[in-house]
Every structure is written in structure tokens, then in C-alpha cells.
Structure 1
Amino acid sequence: MKIKSIFIITIGVLFITACTDLNLNPLSEGSSESWYSSETEIDMALNDIYREVFWPVDYTEWTDDWTYREGTTPITSATINGEWGTVLEWWRNSYKCISRANTVLANLDKVSDILPQARLDAFEGDARFVRAAQYSKLISHWGDVIYFTNVLGLEESFTLSKTDKATILQDIYSDFDAAAEKLPVSYGSSANKRATKGAALAMKARIALYMEDWSVARDAAQACMELGTYELYADFGELFLSKTKNTKESIFSIPRSVELDQFFGDTKNYITRNSGGWAAKDPSWDLLCSFLCTDGLPIDESPLFDPHEPFKNRDPRCSETIVEFQTPHLGYIYQPHPDSLNVLNLKTGSYQKNNDTRSNALYASFNGLVWKKGIDEDWSDDFKAENEIMILRFADVLLMYAEAKIELNEIDDSVLDAINQVRARAYQVDYTNLSAYPAVTTTDQTELRKILRAERRMEFAFEGTRYMDIIRWRIAENVLNKDTYGMLDVDDLREKVVNPGLWFFPSTPDIDEDGAADFTPMYNAGMIKRLAQRDFDATKQYLWPIPTKEILINSNLEQNPGY
């Protein structure tokens, strides 16, 4: 494993044509021998480990919230192995980042005589936060992993074996605690986007929650809440747009900038076809059915749900996450109905060919749904998006606190308040006005657990939390062994669904205890089309495989079971 990392930043290149001493280290270039000797150099090294490449979020496409035409992924087809590119990339980049954080920590003594203690503390806090976050990612996905906190030599790195994740977890806590002690509560109006005290506490709560260490998760989340620094942004739909930056809800995020060549480039897969995109990567019917009705009940229990108008009487986050039919989106009225051959262009005020229906465009959304959450109209200008990468926000802290207390069976008003604050924000009402939204009032542990899980799914869809939720709740073997479905081909759709008046859903699917919808009756009746067969192998897939090449070059490194 090539863990040894020498951080080299080239400031300039000295071209010399005359004879010169090749042993000299050019003064215009940084090296591992001379670097880390000034505040600027350490600052640059820390900036490097906050780059986007080191902070990936779990992809929605690994979950039951997503469809990609008739395709699956290595996770949703149970073909994940040690040669999968994501496994290789995440493992490599995590250890690269850890090595760089370790190197910063090992070199702080070089500047201890020239920098004030407050600056040294901030540097240490940053490095320990990053190291803890990277190890959190490793143990949550791989379990027991290689662990080191020193600067390794190349040969030594090839001989390390796994350390038990429980041992690593305690050191992760120590790093987050030290970071919380040394980092500032905020950077004020500064453009600095590094970690803060709240970020360290929140990330500690997250990994504790993942490891079912409920008391630690509760206390860390509560400490973050008590800082008084964060609050929910008033408008849920606006929160995720590229124009909305540096809100008080954001605890830790990675900024993007087209100007600095840091942007999300896969926009066409999410933009509608009328707006110049492909609408290929879409929300699943499973996700659409997971949003509660405005009475707080799931669709198979609520008298308010009409399968033929699936967006009506739903939690507001439903139509803020998925584009509601016959509503404006990206300058057009969105309507996938097979008889809507023309559509209103809101920019011109005239009708034009509707490429968002499969009657006109064969590869329009296969299930009629497209994403709305975070999708900006300015994406269509150059197909480059600079929305912040939201790693962790205050709504998550509130729900982590509530979940930890529920699992500890410490159910009190603070639990209900935490959930209700998140839910009431969606309805844009004060959470104390219990009659203005479907407030949570039960104190039954089993009921609250179900409510909390539904709340997380509605709140965090398309943000990268669903994958680890279904893994840690051990429900992936249920929800990922259900197939994905979409609309029939156009002629059959008209004959079997539209003409009998059964558009959009022919009937209401049942929702099971895990919040998963059952579409098989509609499929067996020939009313919908199966797009793909999902598969999840519970005997091994709750952990990822270690990259095969790491096993091959390190005889002390044992592969995870089943791979």
C-alpha cells in the first residue's frame, strides 16, 4: 500500500543550462526536507487536504432512492469486488489524506518558536479533524482497517495489518475532541471553509451513530446544538441551490467554484431534456412513495393519498425533491404524460415539442420522475454546477440527537422537539404550533424509530446519507433486493394506464416496516414495467472489500469476508 506521502508543491521551475551541482535542492521548489517551515507552507498543506477529492459522499445511486434507466451499480447488483474503481479510489485517497495530516502534525514543532500558540492549535485542530474524518469513513465502510498516526516509511507501509475498528474508534473520538477544543466556533465573515468546533462535534456524533455508540452520539450532538451557532434555514427548497452559500445550517461543506475549475460536471444526467439535459439519473418510485402525507401517515395508510395525483397532500419536501407534474422547472412546465406532446416554454411564452415525454423522446425519464433538489436553472447555461458539497448540516445533528435518545429509550420533549423542528421547517411554520403541521407527539420507542427513519429519508434524499442509513440499520438486504420499476412503453401505457384513467400510479403500493414500497402487484398485473433487478448480498456487502492490489502487495492484510 503506497501510504507514504511526500507533499510537494512546485512554486516555480529553475531551468539551468550550465553545469550545476545536482545534489543541490533548488530554492524555488518545495521538498519534504525543507517544507513545513513557515506558517504559509503549513497553511498550504492543510488547504490541500480540504480538497473535494478527499471528501466524497456516498452516492445516491447505491440506494433505493435512485434509478438510471435500466442500469444498476456494483452495489445494487451485488457485483462489488476489490477491483471496483470506487473502492480503489476511496481507499487510496483516504490514506493519502491521512498521511498528509500526519505529516503536518509531525512537523508542527518546526514552527513552534515562530508562531503564536493559537495558530499552532488551529493547525493541529485541522489536521486531527481531517484524520478523524478519514478514519471514520474507512471504519464505517470497511470495518477493521490499517491504522497509523505517524509518518510511515515505504517499506513499513507494506507490512501493516488491520487494527480492530473499536480501537480506532476511540482514537477517532480523541482526535475529534482535540479538534473541538482547538478549532474556532466560527470564522466570522472570513471565506475560510475549514472545520470548526461544531464540525468536530457533529462528525463525532455521526461516526458514533454509525457505530451504535448511542451515548457518545447523544452527547456530541447535544454539545453541537448548545453552541448556539447553527439554525435551520427557513426555506428547504432554496437551501440547496448554488446561490445559497454559507448559511447558518451548514456545519461542514466543501465549496465549489466554476471560476476556480471546481464544479459538478455530471449535470446533464439530472437536467430535463427540454432544458438540454438527458434526465437519465432520476429519483426512484420507491423514494416518491416514501414521503408521508400531510396528516403524517404513509401513503398506504392515509386517506389523503390519491395514486393518480401522487404529489397532492404530501409532505412539502416531496415536491421540493422531485419535480411535480405540470409545474415550472428550469424554464419549462414539466409533464411526462404520454399525451402531452407539446409543452409551455416559460422563457418564450410559447409551446414547443415536449422532449420530457417518452412519446417524443425515447430516452426521457423511464419512470417519469426527475430531480428538483439542488437543480438550478443556471446549470443549463454551461452545464457546470457550483453547489456546495454539503457534508453535514444542522438538521442532521438534530435528527442524530433524536435517534440516539430514541435508541437509549431516553424519550423526552427534547426528542420530539428535535424531530419537529426539522419537520416544521419543511412546512415553513413554527415547530411549537403543533396544529400547523403533522407534529410528532408519540413517545413510543418503536413508533418513534420508524418515524425518525422516515424523517431522515424525506429530509436528506439526494444528499448522500441514505446509503449508510440502510447499511447501519441493516435493512439493505430488504430494500435493495426489491426491483426498480417505471412506466410501460408508450403504446401500452396509453392502453393500460392512461385510457382507463389510472395515470400516474394504477394503484397504491403497500409500504412495509422499513418504508419500502411493494410494486409487485402492479407489475404482475402488467400495469408497470420492471426496469432493473436489484440485488444485495447480505453475507458480505455490509462491508466493502479491501482493494485487491493492496492484498497482493501486503501479506499481512486480510480481505474482508466473502470477497
Structure 2
Amino acid sequence: MKIKALIYILTGFFLFSCNDLDLNPLSEGSSESWNANASELDMSVAYLYDIDFWDAELTRTSTSTSLSGYELEWTDRYTDDWTARASLSDITGGTINSQSSFVTIAWKYAYTCIAAANQVIVSLDKAAESVSESKLKEYEAKARFARAAQYARLIFLYGDVPYYTNVLSIEEAFSLSRTDKQTILEAVYADYDFAAEYLPITYGSNELLFPTKGAALAMKSRIALYMGDWSVARDAAKACMDLGVYELHPDYSTLFLSKTKNATENVFAIPRSVGLGIYIPRGGRAKEPITRIAGGFCNGGPSWDLFSAYLCEDGLPIDESPLYNPHEPFKNRDPRCTASIVEFQTPWLGFMYQPHPDSLTVLNFNTGKYQSNADSRGVGQYASYNALTWKKKLDEDWLDLLTDPDNRIIRYADVLMIYAEAKIELGETDQSVLDAMNQVRARAYGVPYTDTSSYPAITGTNQDELRKTLRIERRMEFAFEGLRYADLIRWRLAEKALNTPIYGMLELDDLRERVVKPGLWFFPSTPSIDEDGVADFSGMHQAGQINLLVERQFDPSKQYLWPIPANEILINKNLTQNAGY
């Protein structure tokens, strides 16, 4: 894989680069003459799939470009699934503006990839004499797939954006205005359709970097779903399903680990490899979800909101199920709960995890001895403020210097859920909808979806109830995968879910006196869960049993779109700003 083989000298400069300016030493190749043969096209296309453009997590590479150092939000920190002590992101704090770093960098990354894709597409005729027509179509398909994915992300985040498919001069670039997002969406569909026609269904093991026919269909279904285009989402997801090449990984808890490479559930993923210098290092944010006793910070992790969203084993929410006990809140829950959040008094990363304030020592399984418990507020004041810590994606590999799990862009479970949701919204509930949803749920229980007596199978067909069930299912299935933010935005639930307080444990003395001593650990009582799956902890707070850490703030008058970056507005008089910024 030549993931880092090509830098800007081959594909243009930053956003709105000028191909007429050839400022590169001749020994490094010219953008005017490049892409004249298969070898050069291989490198140019590989650049489009540089992990920097697709990273859902925090990656560092041993070879760097001037884009390196960008830290995409690799968790759900923009949502109600995330708690980071008493801090907020620019989105959950309502402080997002046109100069927010992630706003500017996401825009820059997307357009850098788009410029590179356009450069490939317009230069294909240079290689017509040495490369077969079918191979040229494949190169074009890979480039159009990359372009479609970047434009899809742009219109979802920013709305109307500049759209172009050629190589621009500086003058042309600075005169572009915003194109209606629906027009761009149709172009995105066309690019994905072309990719689906000319990309292979599978590759050999040395080409896992690139998208397939199924990936094009899946990504088309995702942006159609996000834009409320239900029939397109349904048809594209069904076409992906009908390929018959994907299936759910049998074990939900191991799917996300670095040892699980190229799972059949991966519809599109960018592989990482320590050997190739593409990995998640231990430092920085990679240490954020790791427990303090294991060498991490444990200052960012699952929220009580997420924890309370997991259903019980009877398929009911915690405020309706007789199986739920707030003092033993991990018991009798959907298996994805304990696969995603570390259960108390269980081994984790070489130590017993027990955040109880009186558990001042815990067992170190590596030494067989007890040691001071850095994950208890009774020992460390910076231990998890809500006692919860992530388990999903993490294992002992994260304690090494480097780790390299696949960077999954879309997996088969999402395709199944996209199909089901689109059918529900179209009012086309049938057995195929129930089967798709039950495949996802049954996998969590480790049983065939047809064995409906072994898990709480979904059976109802009422549209409103199924919509609620699907939304909860997505939250349980995709926690810590970066999908919750898009769901909140497209469901128009952000104004509710992101205008709620973040709660945590009381300070140590009060915690012992008001919660532990009366026998109310861990949760003093059961929060209520509303029709949208949003938990209400206010009763416990009013009773003085939990702390209000910080108030989330989301302004629905503007925050359903991100602002156009300020620097783009300044250099282009034809660009207008989104309302409210």
C-alpha cells in the first residue's frame, strides 16, 4: 500500500489549487505531465485514500505531509454519549464559530482530497495509450468515489458549498459561489453509481486500501439516509446486501480490536499497519479513554446518558424493565453495554476495575498483588468523574507503544440499519425490516436472529414504535464510532439531547455520606427515559445524590449546520456565511 507515497506536488496544493503554477523541482515530477502511466496513476489514486482523509480516530504516521497533525474527533465527544469531566466541546458548549479549528480543518481536508480526485479524473487521457480502458475506468471509479465521499460530508456539515469537478486556476477558485446542496447530492449519487459500476466486488489482499462496488453502494445509502432521501437509501442499501459478500462478525466485542483485521463486516475500511507507519500511538488522546491505573487519563468516556440508554435483556428500557437494579446497573443489560463500558469489579487492562470510593486498593493481575487504586475517587481526585470508562475498541494493545486497528468507515451492521430505517420512514415495514434489525441485535447476544427465544427479538410493526426502537438500536450498536452526532443532527434531536446537563458523582465526602452509606451505590435511583431515549437525572440531583458537572448548550437556530470557515469568506467575496454565524 502506497498510502503516503504522494504529496501535493502530484495532486495540487490546498483547497482551490492552481494547476497552471508548476513550482516543483523537475526531479519531483510535474503536475502537468504526471499520471501518464499506470505506476503514476497508482500513486495518485493511493493518495486519495491516505488515512488523513478518512480517519475516524486519532492516527499518527511515520511519514508525514503538511496535513499531518490533524486530530479528527475520534469519539462521540460532540454528543450526549460522551463525558469529559466538566469540559465541553465547541459543539456541546455552543461556542462553535467560523474560526473553530475543526470547522476549518474538516473543510480543508475535504477540498484537498477533492482537488486531488479531480486532478486524477481530468488527466486520465494521458495514459490512454499505455493503460487499458477497463483499468482507466477503475482509476476513475476510485477517484469519483473519493470525491463523492468528501462532497457528501461537506453538504451534511455545511449545507450549500462550492462545487467543481475540474482543475481550477486561482482566479476561478476565488470566484466560486455556493452550489445548492441538492444539486451536489445528485452529483454525489452519480459518482457513487459510476464507482459501483466499475469497481470490483472484492480485491486481493494487497489492495484492501481501496473501495469496492459494495462500498460505493453503502456510502451512497448513508448520505441518502442522512439527507432524508429514503427511497435512494433503501435501494442502495438493498443492492449492497444483495451482493452477498458481507456478514456480521460473530463476536461484537472483538470486532473493534486491532487483532481483528479485514473482517467480513467491513464494507469500507482503511487498514492501519504499524509496519507501514500508520497507527494509533499511545500518547495524546489515545490515552484519554484508558484507566488511570493502567497509565491513561480516563478523563473522556461514556456518559451516564449513554449508559442508561442500553436496554435490558427483556428489550425494555431501564425505567420500564423489572430486571433493572440501579445499584447493580450492569446486570441484565443488552450485551453491548458491557462490551462497550467496563463493568465494575471485573478485570480490565491488567487490573480489577472498581471505582467505588472505598476501594482504595485493587488487584494487579500482572503482579498478583494489590496496589493503590488510581481509579477510585478515594485515591485520585482526577479519576473518572462518573465512574465509567470505555471498553469498546480497547485492549492490552493500547498499552503498547502503537496499535493499528482497521479504520472502519462503514460496516455491514450500518447497511442493515440504513435499509431498515429507510423502509420504516417510507411506511414499508415488512419482514425484511425486522430481519435486518434482528440480525444486528441477535449478533450482540451471540445467537442466530431466527432463534427468537434466545434474545429480545423485534416484532412490532407500528411505524412510530419501530422508529423509536431503531434509534435506540443504533445508539447501542454504534456507540464510540462517531455516528451519534450525525444521528442527532438528522433526527433533529440535538436541540433536546445537547441541551441537557452532564451529571457525575458527588465529591468524595458527600459521595460516601449520601450514596455509599445509605446503600445507594452506584445509581441512587433509576432515571426516567423519554420517547427519544433521553435520560432525566434531575430527580437524583434535586435529592443531592449526584453532581451537575456542566450544562450542554446547543443553539438550534444555527448549529444544525457548521459555519463556512472565516478564512474562506475573507478570500472569496462570492461565498456567503450560514445563518447565525
Is the counterpart of residue 91 in structure 1 residue 104 in structure 2?
no
Q: For 1:72-107, what per-residue CA distance to the aligned partner results, in whole angstroms no more than 9, with x for missing partners?
A: 010001100000000000101101100100000000
* Of 175, 186, 189, the match for 2:205: 189
Partner residue in 2 for 1:291:
310
Is the counterpart of residue 388 in structure 1 residue 389 in structure 2?
no
Partner residue in 2 for 1:14:
none
Is the counterpart of residue 251 in structure 1 residue 261 in structure 2?
no
Partner residue in 1 for 2:396:
377
Partner residue in 1 for 2:276:
260
Distance in 2 of aligned mates of 1:279 and 1:219: 42
Partner residue in 2 for 1:478:
496
Q: Is residue 37–residue 111 contact of structure 1 (8 Å, CA) maintained in 2?
A: yes
Distance in 2 of aligned mates of 1:143 and 1:74: 19
Is the counterpart of residue 313 in structure 1 residue 332 in structure 2?
yes
Q: 1:416: how far off?
A: 0.1
Q: In the alignment, residue 133 of structure 2 is paired with which amino acid?
A: Q
Q: Is residue 476–residue 536 contact of structure 1 (8 Å, CA) maintained in 2?
A: yes
Spell out the pairing of 1:120-519 with structure 2 (5 A cutoff).
120-265=136-281, 266-382=285-401, 384-519=402-537
Structure 1 segments unaligned to the other structure (5+ residues)? 11-22
Q: 1:56: how far off?
A: 3.9
Q: In the alignment, residue 324 of structure 1 is paired with which amino acid?
A: E
| Matched position secondary structure for 1:530 | strand
Q: Is residue 267–residue 385 contact of structure 1 (8 Å, CA) maintained in 2?
A: no
**Greater shift in the superposed pair: 405-414 or 47-56:** 47-56
Distance 1:27 1:77, change over 3 A: closer
Q: 1:9: how far off?
A: 5.3
Partner residue in 1 for 2:70:
none
Distance 1:502 1:194, change over 3 A: same
Partner residue in 1 for 2:47:
48
Q: In the alignment, residue 536 of structure 1 is paired with which amino acid?
A: F
| Matched position secondary structure for 1:484 | strand
RMSD: 1.5
Q: For 1:160-183, what per-residue CA distance to the aligned partner results, in whole angstroms no more than 9, with x for missing partners?
A: 101101111111000000000000
Partner residue in 1 for 2:65:
none
Distance in 2 of aligned mates of 1:163 and 1:25: 32
Q: Is residue 92–residue 498 contact of structure 2 (8 Å, CA) maintained in 1?
A: yes
Q: 1:6: how far off?
A: 8.9
Distance in 1 of aligned mates of 2:160 and 2:272: 33
Q: Is residue 10–residue 31 contact of structure 2 (8 Å, CA) maintained in 1?
A: no
| Matched position secondary structure for 1:297 | coil
Structure 2 segments unaligned to the other structure (5+ residues)? 1-5, 12-21, 57-72
Q: TM-score, normalised by structure 2?
A: 0.92
Is the counterpart of residue 542 in structure 1 residue 569 in structure 2?
no
Distance 1:100 1:25, change over 3 A: closer
Distance in 2 of aligned mates of 1:196 and 1:256: 18
Q: Is residue 411–residue 443 contact of structure 1 (8 Å, CA) maintained in 2?
A: yes
Q: 1:258: how far off?
A: 2.7
| Matched position secondary structure for 2:279 | coil
Q: 1:526: how far off?
A: 0.7
Q: Is residue 503–residue 546 contact of structure 2 (8 Å, CA) maintained in 1?
A: yes
Partner residue in 2 for 1:66:
82
| Matched position secondary structure for 2:205 | coil
**Greater shift in the superposed pair: 346-355 or 496-505:** 346-355
Distance 1:412 1:498, change over 3 A: same
Q: Is residue 208–residue 271 contact of structure 2 (8 Å, CA) maintained in 1?
A: no
Q: 1:193: how far off?
A: 1.5
* Of 551, 559, 563, the match for 2:569: 551
**Greater shift in the superposed pair: 465-474 or 48-57:** 48-57
Partner residue in 1 for 2:118:
102
Q: Is residue 252–residue 390 contact of structure 1 (8 Å, CA) maintained in 2?
A: yes
| Matched position secondary structure for 1:302 | coil
Q: In the alignment, residue 105 of structure 1 is paired with which amino acid?
A: I
Report how many residues are paired. Answer: 546
Q: 1:353: how far off?
A: 1.0
Q: In the alignment, residue 350 of structure 1 is paired with which amino acid?
A: K
Distance in 2 of aligned mates of 1:115 and 1:351: 66
| Matched position secondary structure for 2:123 | helix
Distance in 2 of aligned mates of 1:381 and 1:192: 25
Is the counterpart of residue 119 in structure 1 residue 138 in structure 2?
no
Q: Is residue 270–residue 371 contact of structure 1 (8 Å, CA) maintained in 2?
A: yes
Q: Is residue 6–residue 32 contact of structure 1 (8 Å, CA) maintained in 2?
A: no
| Matched position secondary structure for 1:125 | helix
| Matched position secondary structure for 2:414 | helix
Q: Is residue 146–residue 161 contact of structure 1 (8 Å, CA) maintained in 2?
A: yes
Distance 1:24 1:309, change over 3 A: closer
| Matched position secondary structure for 2:531 | coil
| Matched position secondary structure for 1:355 | coil
Distance in 1 of aligned mates of 2:23 and 2:409: 44
